[in-house]
Amino acid sequence: MKDVSTQDTPVIVVPPSDMHRHFGELLSSKEGADVKFRVRKKTFSAHRSVLAARSPVFKKALLGPMKEGTTTSAIPIDDMEADVFEALLTFMYTDDLPDTIKEQEESARLKLICEDKLCKHIDSGSAATILALAEQHNCHGLKEACLDFLSTSTALKQVMETDGFEYLTKNCPSILKELLSKGASVRFDVTVLKDVQTVETPFLVVPPSDMHKHFGDLLSSKEGADVKFRVGKKTFSAHRLVLSTRSRVFKAELYGKMKESATSNIIHINDMEAEVFDALLTFMYTDSLPEMMEQEESAMAQHLLVAADRYNLERLKLISDRYNLEGLKLICEDKLCGYIDEGTVGSILELADQHHCHGLKKACLSFLMDTEGFNHLSKSCPSVVKELIAVLGSRHLN
- Given this model, what pLDDT does residue 328 score? 67
- Given this model, what pLDDT does residue 305 score? 74
Which residues have C-beta within 8 Å of that of residue 161, sequence separation ≥ 6? none
Is residue 106 left, alpha or beta, with left meaning phi > 0 and alpha meaning psi from -120 to 50?
alpha
Q: Are strands 227-231 and 267-269 parallel, antiparallel or unpaired?
A: parallel
- Given this model, what pLDDT does residue 192 score? 42
- Given this model, what pLDDT does residue 153 score? 75
**Residues of the chain scoring pLDDT < 70:** 1-14, 65-72, 98-108, 177, 180-206, 257-264, 292-298, 308-328, 369-379, 382, 385-398
- Given this model, what pLDDT does residue 89 score? 94
What angle in degrees, to the nearest 10, is found between the helix axes of 127-136 and 140-149? Answer: 150
- Given this model, what pLDDT does residue 101 score? 46
| Distance between first and last Cα of the chain | 25
What is the pTM (predicted TM-score) of this model?
A: 0.56
CATH entry, 225-397, from 3.30.710.10, 3.40.50.300, 3.40.50.960, 3.10.580.10: 3.30.710.10
Q: Do domains 19-94 and 225-397 have the same CATH topology?
A: yes
- Given this model, what pLDDT does residue 204 score? 64
* Alpha-carbon span 321 to 309, nearest angstrom: 6
* Alpha-carbon span 323 to 38, nearest angstrom: 36
Sketch the domain layout of the chain as residue ranges. Answer: 19-94, 102-208, 225-397
pLDDT in tens, 158-193: 988 888 888 887 788 777 767 766 654 444 333 343
CATH of domain 19-94: 3.30.710.10
User: What CATH topology corresponds to 102-208?
Assistant: 1.25.40
